[in-house]
Structure 1
Amino acid sequence: METPNSNLVQLGWKPFFSKQVSAEEDGRCQPVRVMSVHRGMVTVLGDGIEDSISSSLPVPGGPEDRPTVGDWLLIDRDSWKLVRILDRTSLFKRPAPGDDRRLQLIAANVDTLFVVTSCNQDFNVARIERYLVVAREVGVRPVIVLTKADLSTDPAGFLETASALQPGLQVELVNGRDPESVARLAVHCNVGETVALVGSSGVGKSTLVNTMRGSDSIVTQAVREDDGKGLHTTTVREMHRLGFGPAGGGWLVDTPGMRELQMSEVTAGVAEVFDDIVAITLECRFTNCTHAEEPGCAIRDALGRGALEPQRLDRWRKLATEDVLNTGIAATRRARPRKARKRQ
């Protein structure tokens, strides 16, 4: 494909996508990016195009062969019909709520993941680690964003706890209503860069997005004082144009609040987030050690010496077990006949 114009570059077009477009496709197709997803339709934006089109592919494919927010599509220049979805640099997905046999696509072609949590009762180490595992598995850089710092009596304590979860992990402490405070996130939102925003309801995601956009168009809701939880205010996954800060111009994907993010096939992500525990297991006498009663168990030794926190070990066990279970479900899903899938 010829050198893209500035409009496509601002949308996030990169050489990775250009290399996928053949000369024949370059003549009859136009690249567009998915801004939001609705039932059977997607809103797309491209060079001279901003419209809603059908999300149906000419030839239906597997569970990942459907557009999601952030995707790059090739559409016919004349009919504007979807021709195909370009390969993704990253894809966030999860088993569909209520049906582990189906996949729900969350966002594609994300560069950075903002893991948003507030400096109150919502702060939950286990939940943060789940997001970190998914980010590492997908290959997207995670940044923990601690909101409501202005309402906390000990924001430094939350900052210290979050920073200790992984070496080199970036953590930003912000007041979501203060543009100057939020401006420190601009470094992750350069022109053409895409960040996704995840976190449970009530942590201030919508407030943060409004400040980053310089708009109050996204509805926000109050948080219950007794437990710090809020209602879901974002119901559609969509991309927002950002223009704050000296290097602004990136894109942000806002997703519905996901209090429980079920994981699927994230073995590498679990190993990276809990690399300290994995390193200890390599010192066990037996390679198939269950870390229960076997002699020469390095995990039990580390626990006895106080070198490993029991709570962190429990979280690792839980996530590793969940990954094994969901990986098995995913393998079964892929092995099912196509006709069986159509009946779901």
Structure 2
Amino acid sequence: MKSTEETLEELGWNAFFSEQVSPDEALLCHPVRVMAVHRGKIAVAGLGPQRFITPYIPGALPTDDHPTVGDWVLVDGATVQPVRVLQRMNLFKRRSPADPRRDQMIAANVDTVFIVASCNQDFSVARLERYLVLTREVGVDPVVVLTKSDLTDTPETFAAAARAIEPGLLVQTVNGRDPADVAGLAAWCGPGKTVAFLGSSGVGKSTLVNSLRGSDSIATQAVRAHDSTGRHTTTVREMHRLDHGGWLLDLPGMRELQLSDAATGIAEVFDDFALAAQDCKFSDCSHGVEPGCAVRAAIEAGTLTSERFARWRRLEAEETANSAKLTKRRSR
């Protein structure tokens, strides 16, 4: 961290959070931001030097009321113990690999998501769509960042494939090792702003973070030559101070990102299919062999593609199945 004395505004404090604090709480408590989550403790800033405190909040459930990285937490001014988590602008979470009945929180209060992919054989439109569904469901604006542009002669081919997913989708191609090239991302990294990175292992997230911070303090690993993939290097969720005054969440590679309760995100990312489906003859059309299917007609006409249709149906089926399982397990 560049400084141990950031103001609340520099940490991302704004009217959305201040309006949640009553006059009595303002006299007795102080807001701090969760900068990192470790086992059994959290690192917070906003009270001078960064310090570690226990994340336990009396009466809080071990799910959404538990502090996660990016959260704003009110702490008792005398004991510096957590009192409550302030309402979040947004929250990224997934099903917990350890207990599918519970959600695992990933990050809170994010302004922009950098969805990171690489310009090599590991590039996947389907994976980008999956991450876009997640960001749209949460309600955070995404920017697709394509790394390793220096390792290909045709970076624009990858950029065009990403832009084709959604009209108006912001896509940036960068050489993550070149600070001058990475400077093009500064518009989203201003004072008090929080950017989160999402992407599979080995796409160059840690290298990109190092360039944005002007530091090589985050470990990186080379990708495997035979398949252009790598292992994730981030093991602790934490916020990093950026040279432009913002904050960056470098998250662990999400090997098991399963969609649940993401119907809205899927509808936004695949709104072309959702709009076409409204013209189907039958409201419960499965877009298979039914007569009057507008989706099949659009595919035959070439305005929609069968490949994207297949990805849409897979994500819808996954979301429906996972949501049903989660509801059933929670009810038990």
The 5-angstrom pairing of residues 239-318 of structure 1 reads 239-243=239-243, 248-318=244-314
Query: 2:60 & 2:6 partners in 1: Cα distance?
Result: 32
Cα shift at 1:203 = 0.6
Query: 1:257 & 1:303 partners in 2: Cα distance?
Result: 35
TM-score (norm 1): 0.93
- Alignment gaps of 5+ in structure 1: 337-344
Structure 1 residues 98 and 28: alpha-carbon distance in aligned structure 2, compared to 1, 3 A threshold: closer
Q: Does the 8 Å contact 2:75/2:84 carry over to 1? A: yes
Query: 1:239 & 1:334 partners in 2: Cα distance?
Result: 31
Q: Does the 8 Å contact 2:101/2:330 carry over to 1? A: no
Q: Does the 8 Å contact 1:93/1:106 carry over to 2? A: yes
Q: Does the 8 Å contact 1:8/1:47 carry over to 2? A: no
Cα shift at 1:64 = 1.1
Q: Does the 8 Å contact 1:239/1:252 carry over to 2? A: yes
User: What count of residue pairs does the alignment treat as equivalent?
Assistant: 328
Give the aligned partner of residue 339 of structure 1.
none
Give the aligned partner of residue 73 of structure 2.
73
Give the aligned partner of residue 121 of structure 1.
121
2:46 aligned partner, one-letter code: G
Cα shift at 1:65 = 1.4
1:75 aligned partner, one-letter code: V
**Percent sequence identity over matched residues?**
57
Query: 1:114 & 1:104 partners in 2: Cα distance?
Result: 20
The 5-angstrom pairing of residues 1-344 of structure 1 reads 7-61=7-61, 63-243=63-243, 248-336=244-332
Query: 2:93 & 2:326 partners in 1: Cα distance?
Result: 12
Query: 1:201 & 1:75 partners in 2: Cα distance?
Result: 36
TM-score (norm 2): 0.96
2:257 aligned partner, one-letter code: L
- Alignment gaps of 5+ in structure 2: none
Per-residue CA deviation, residues 122-162 of structure 1 (Å, 9 max, x unaligned), is 11000100000010110100000000000112101001111
Per-residue CA deviation, residues 24-73 of structure 1 (Å, 9 max, x unaligned), is 11011010000000112100000425200001111132521111100000
1:335 aligned partner, one-letter code: S
Cα shift at 1:260 = 3.8
SS at match of 1:43: strand
SS at match of 2:107: strand
Cα RMSD over matched residues? 1.3
SS at match of 1:172: strand
Query: 2:87 & 2:209 partners in 1: Cα distance?
Result: 28
Cα shift at 1:99 = 3.4
Query: 1:208 & 1:173 partners in 2: Cα distance?
Result: 12
Query: 1:206 & 1:109 partners in 2: Cα distance?
Result: 21
